[in-house]
């Protein structure tokens, strides 16, 4: 009889803990956020990822009626910025506006990073994706991807490709281009999309894999030319430009992405509230118009879908980087 009473008491104790935890989570969901949220962006101000982050931060500030403070930390390939969030309190008040290099930089660096790109974060949502365009200096004597490859093979080690940072989609596309075409080309890394475009226009580099938002002003001005795009089908605003699939290079069909991550162990109630708010922001007509101007396609995946994407990319790029022997220059 005593054992039965003890068992019932233990059960009631566990049930009480569960109820308290549920009530606490509900309370967090109700009160969150009650102070400003810091959104850390691992790129310099003015970069395409920064532009998207600020568009969403403005809308989220309206939704939450709390300020979303954008904190740019564009040094060290985003490693320092990412570490800050990984080690922050898991309360939803410090978030990372991650981009594609989140899954490639850890695979490229020789040193062990102070965080794990998967287990140290709670995924909120994949916010946006953008197509890449292969752009070339206006004076470069090529008008197609085929001609660019032929020129690179005819002049080994003489062509230079610019990349807006280490580990991002532009960097990976440049390295994959060299691997796929068996060409010897020098990769020159810049701190962000703007200086990379300046270098391309000035002829300091010969070609660049850039986001459409970074490249379109120069394309429209006739200062650079575009040879291919990573989009699944031809872009409506560049209908004459073939896709990488069309030119026989499907490995380069990369889509730069952005998404929001929180520190691991952030309460699910907070994760869900952030997720719902971002999805609401992504459906707002004004937000959609602003995102379209950056060449961004809104996504709004669930936390589970974003988690799966990160794990899939870590596996895929791990195999690709090893096979192509891609290293940080």
Does residue 85 contact residue 116 with C-beta atoms inside 8 Å?
Answer: no
pLDDT band at 50 (very low <50, low <70, confident <90, very high): very high
Does residue 300 contact residue 127 with C-beta atoms inside 8 Å?
Answer: yes
What Å distances lie between residue 264 and 13, 89, 95, 125, 308, CA to CA?
Answer: 27, 9, 11, 14, 15
pLDDT score recorded for residue 13: 52
150 lies in the same domain as 92: no
Q: Rounded distance, CA 148 to CA 141, Å?
A: 8
160 lies in the same domain as 194: yes
pLDDT band at 329 (very low <50, low <70, confident <90, very high): low
CATH number at residue 202: 3.40.190.10
Question: Does the predicted model carry a pTM greater than 0.95?
Answer: no
Helix (H) or strand (E) holding 230: none
Considering 230, 252, 274, which residue would you say is the last residue of a domain? 252
144 lies in the same domain as 247: yes
Q: Rounded distance, CA 298 to CA 290, Å?
A: 11
The rounded percent of the chain whose pLDDT value lies above 70 is: 90
**Closest Cα partner for 202 from 257, 155, 139, 260?**
139
Considering 199, 225, 252, which residue would you say is the last residue of a domain? 252
Average pLDDT, whole number, for the chain? Answer: 89
246 lies in the same domain as 285: no
70 lies in the same domain as 144: no
Considering 252, 282, 308, which residue would you say is the last residue of a domain? 252
Number of folded domains that form the chain: 2
pLDDT band at 124 (very low <50, low <70, confident <90, very high): very high
Q: Rounded distance, CA 305 to CA 6, Å?
A: 43
Domain that holds residue 43: 32-130+256-324
Residue 156 lies in a domain: yes
pLDDT score recorded for residue 21: 47
The distance from CA 207 to its chain's CA centroid, rounded to whole angstroms, is: 22
pLDDT band at 103 (very low <50, low <70, confident <90, very high): very high
pLDDT band at 4 (very low <50, low <70, confident <90, very high): very low
């Amino acid at each position: 009889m005593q054992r039965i009473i003890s068992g019932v008491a233990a059960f009631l104790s566990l049930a009480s803990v569960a109820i308290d935890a549920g009530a606490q989570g509900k309370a967090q969901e109700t009160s969150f956020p009650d102070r400003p949220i810091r959104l850390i962006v691992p790129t310099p101000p003015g970069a395409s990822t920064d532009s998207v982050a600020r568009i969403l931060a403005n809308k989220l500030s309206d939704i939450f009626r709390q300020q979303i403070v954008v904190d740019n930390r564009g040094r060290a390939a985003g490693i320092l910025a990412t570490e800050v969030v990984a080690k922050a309190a898991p309360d939803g008040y410090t978030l990372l506006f991650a981009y594609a290099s989140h899954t490639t930089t850890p695979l490229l660096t020789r040193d062990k990073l102070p965080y794990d790109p998967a287990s140290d974060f709670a995924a909120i949502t994949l916010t946006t994706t953008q197509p890449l365009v292969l752009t070339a200096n206006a004076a470069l004597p090529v008008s197609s991807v085929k001609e660019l490859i032929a020129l690179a093979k005819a002049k080994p080690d003489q062509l230079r490709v610019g990349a807006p940072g280490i580990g991002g989609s532009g960097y990976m596309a440049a390295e994959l281009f060299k691997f796929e075409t068996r060409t010897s080309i020098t990769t020159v890394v810049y701190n962000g999309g703007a200086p990379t475009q300046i270098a391309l226009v000035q002829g300091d580099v010969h070609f660049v894999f850039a986001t459409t938002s970074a490249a379109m002003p120069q394309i429209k001005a006739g200062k650079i030319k575009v040879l291919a795009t990573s989009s699944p089908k031809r872009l409506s605003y560049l209908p004459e430009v073939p896709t990488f699939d069309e030119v026989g290079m499907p490995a380069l069909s990369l889509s730069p992405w952005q998404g929001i991550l929180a520190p691991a162990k952030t309460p699910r109630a907070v994760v869900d509230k952030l997720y719902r708010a971002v999805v609401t922001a992504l459906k707002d007509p004004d937000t959609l118009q602003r995102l379209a101007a950056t060449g961004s396609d809104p996504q709004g995946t669930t936390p589970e879908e974003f988690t799966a994407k990160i794990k899939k990319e870590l596996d895929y790029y791990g195999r690709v980087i090893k096979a192509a022997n891609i290293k940080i220059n």
